[in-house]
Amino acid sequence: MSLEYRKWLTFSTFVLIAGLLWFFFKYKEVYTQHVAVDVIWTNIPSHVELKDGLSYQLDVELTGNGFNLLKASYIAPQVELDFKKYVFKDENYFLILNWLWEV
């Protein structure tokens, strides 16, 4: 191997290592970001029709480490919502959020 080739190989190796370290330290922190989340409905009553089928996308604000948010921005997370956990009143459906108050 020539000396010039070894210099370039050593330089390239250190640049690659520095880039990987930068990537790791940048994305290990906690961030907040808007992400599109796929909502999939289950147990839909026969008298209810959804306009666009069974799945919808919602724009939500997620907080998490950078690696998870980076993954979520490329592959949309999925949330499954059950119509049995809803209450029908005055021609509107309401979500029952009992799980928010459980300790």
Q: Domain for residue 85, yes or no?
A: yes
pLDDT score, position 89: 65
Q: Domain for residue 75, yes or no?
A: yes
- pLDDT per residue over 33-84, tens digit each? 888 888 777 777 777 676 666 567 778 787 888 888 878 878 888 878 777 7
CB contact at 8 A, 31 and 64: yes
Q: Domain for residue 22, yes or no?
A: no
Mean pLDDT of 20-27: 85
pLDDT score, position 10: 93
Pairing of strands 30-42, 78-82: parallel
pLDDT score, position 5: 87
Q: Domain for residue 70, yes or no?
A: yes
pLDDT score, position 87: 61
pLDDT score, position 98: 53
How many domains does one find in the chain? 1
Residue with the two structure tokens 């979520």? 72
The range of the structural domain enclosing residue 77 comes to 29-96
pTM, 2 dp: 0.53
